Structure 1
């Protein structure tokens, strides 16, 4: 195989994804920017008027900001875990989805902590959290875990990008000079020599093992913030593994949705194939069974205990949040299981639909963990106005939530405009290791 000519072919194939923008892509980017600007306007109003413009009050001190934070952070941790597994065990079909997973990991880890800042009433005192941390507090350890994981995932993502930066540096034609200089700077002198290649593979493999451990530890610490309290609904010994399984559940779901959209928009049917969806669907099926088991165990133990505070919480769930409870814990779990369990239903569209239901159900499950629990406090406040006891998100909170989602998609698109979503270096490595010395793109996918 002529490696140099193959690199030029791949650059030519993926260049339209990096350099050209269609009319519809510009419209979608404009819509996303509009959501972000709407969120910025809401943020200014919140800073000027304070948290009274939100639905958070004395009892419910956390709202959808903290729910979004949990969702995005668990998405990043699950992405780190899945990406580490794919690289560490050298999964044969990892090349088609590994970069999608890696980008989701880093971007969600950037967006998630922003919602914590939105939840803080006095941002001007934020620096005290770093100057005078309480080492006994799980929140301090959660901040340390998030920062460590962000640094580790960013380094890991950059390491996987280096070979493609070098390929784009040496083979790109008709690209702006600033882009060529950027590729030269980011490639840091990588020339794809056997020594450099082996060293990079070794470092990447070590980093993949490290981020697997980081993902487990970091999300466990986040779960402890809830479970180490006396609050009914949170005080649970299974919250750490429950959160990890829930994170994987949402992570696999978002990955499937991203695979479907990228495959459809960029016409990558020959790279992201049905076999990838089936594999991801089977993984989602296994995780949905685990998630359903943990959910059942959590609620059944509270119902069976007949403790007064647990009974009050269940009454709140079954009365005020009955339909939300049904969707989150029945539809959000059973529908994906039914779709993915039977082989005849495992089409690309049905697997994607199951993933959408799973993600929506998981977000709503996080909502039911936070809000109803705070509405039935362990030590209730006496003579409190009803609007202070019950929570309802305002347009400010929804605007900032949709702005976070839009920013997530925008960051994802910007990274895809920098490097191809299918790693070219992975294709080259696979073909280089082929028995005959060369593989066509079709052979690469069907092997």
Structure 2
């Protein structure tokens, strides 16, 4: 850590500069995240394709990224806490607060899911109705309801209770949320691309359906492996908890304890 500390001495000036920098980055990262997800959603919604032609897509994507991000954070923190024996520093209270944040994220995402799928079902035109029926009761119904119920409703019900916000249940909930979020993207993309602009005639039967090829699975797994490798390297060569702040808090605790004695 010494070489990566960049001449850090813990002086008051450095601490003040660090605190200010953290506040600036924390504020700036919010509009950056919103902007990225919004542009992504607009790219989908401006294609005029059934299933994507929605003004609800931007907040829908933002809330989905919120859920996936918090779920991934919970999962990674639990593993780091377990491997590095950081139970004294990353406590049950931290997981309880993250559980409440995850509940909020899931509730917001559930709201936009209702706006995106349930409400249009009452007013959908023919093409949109075919797409929704494919998701609700058709070929993709099993996957759609699994990611909706298992990835949203079940986590909400579990995390509403304090026992569900303990570290181990939180780990499994976070893992389920991340997996469900990935398959949710599959549900968003694939059924829409399978819905043709014009009737399909005289083509092989395999063209009517889609399943990832071997090469697509390899690319997906390699992408996930690269992300896990980056996280592993960061945890290996950078402190998992802020050393200076922890030391300051420990010194303050010892001072207060000594004063009480």
Report the counterpart of residue 143 of structure 2 in structure 1: 324
Indicate yes or no: 2:242 matched with 1:423: yes
Quickly say closer, same or farther: Cα 1:418–1:435, change in 2 above 3 A: closer
Whole-Å separation in 2 of the counterparts to 1:236 and 1:334:
23
Following TM superposition, by how much is the alpha carbon of 1:201 offset from its aligned partner in structure 2, in angstroms? Answer: 2.3
Indicate yes or no: 2:54 matched with 1:236: yes
Describe how 1:81-230 pairs up with structure 2 within 5 A. 168-169=1-2, 183=3, 186-230=4-48
Q: Which runs of 4+ in 1 moved over 6 A?
A: none
Quickly say closer, same or farther: Cα 1:393–1:385, change in 2 above 3 A: same
Deviation per residue, 1:383-413 (Å, 9 max, x gap): 3333233211112211221222222112211
Could you tell me whether the CA contact under 8 Å between 2:74 and 2:174 is conserved in 1? Answer: yes
Report the counterpart of residue 153 of structure 2 in structure 1: 334
Quickly say closer, same or farther: Cα 1:439–1:187, change in 2 above 3 A: farther
TM-score normalised according to structure 2 size: 0.90
Whole-Å separation in 1 of the counterparts to 2:228 and 2:53:
35
Whole-Å separation in 1 of the counterparts to 2:257 and 2:226:
38
Task: Please provide the CA RMSD for this pair.
Answer: 2.1
Report the counterpart of residue 176 of structure 2 in structure 1: 357
Could you tell me whether the CA contact under 8 Å between 1:233 and 1:310 is conserved in 2? Answer: yes
Could you tell me whether the CA contact under 8 Å between 2:96 and 2:162 is conserved in 1? Answer: no
Structure 1 residue corresponding to 2:81, chosen from 263, 268, 271: 263
Deviation per residue, 1:181-224 (Å, 9 max, x gap): xx1xx444443322232223223322221111111111111111
Following TM superposition, by how much is the alpha carbon of 1:354 offset from its aligned partner in structure 2, in angstroms? Answer: 1.8
Report the counterpart of residue 313 of structure 1 in structure 2: 131
SS of match in other structure, 2:119: helix
Could you tell me whether the CA contact under 8 Å between 2:10 and 2:244 is conserved in 1? Answer: no
Unaligned runs of 5+ in 2: none
Following TM superposition, by how much is the alpha carbon of 1:238 offset from its aligned partner in structure 2, in angstroms? Answer: 1.1
Report the counterpart of residue 143 of structure 1 in structure 2: none
Quickly say closer, same or farther: Cα 1:188–1:261, change in 2 above 3 A: closer
SS of match in other structure, 1:281: helix
Quickly say closer, same or farther: Cα 1:196–1:332, change in 2 above 3 A: closer
Report the counterpart of residue 410 of structure 1 in structure 2: 229
Deviation per residue, 1:213-250 (Å, 9 max, x gap): 11111111111111122111101111111111110101
Whole-Å separation in 2 of the counterparts to 1:274 and 1:188:
33
Following TM superposition, by how much is the alpha carbon of 1:431 offset from its aligned partner in structure 2, in angstroms? Answer: 4.3
Indicate yes or no: 2:125 matched with 1:303: no
Indicate yes or no: 2:169 matched with 1:347: no
Deviation per residue, 1:344-390 (Å, 9 max, x gap): 43332222222222222221211111000111134455533332332
Indicate yes or no: 2:74 matched with 1:283: no
TM-score normalised according to structure 1 size: 0.54
Whole-Å separation in 2 of the counterparts to 1:327 and 1:254:
19
Following TM superposition, by how much is the alpha carbon of 1:435 offset from its aligned partner in structure 2, in angstroms? Answer: 7.7
Quickly say closer, same or farther: Cα 1:438–1:235, change in 2 above 3 A: same
Following TM superposition, by how much is the alpha carbon of 1:251 offset from its aligned partner in structure 2, in angstroms? Answer: 0.7
Quickly say closer, same or farther: Cα 1:436–1:355, change in 2 above 3 A: closer
Unaligned runs of 5+ in 1: 1-167, 170-182, 441-447
SS of match in other structure, 1:233: coil
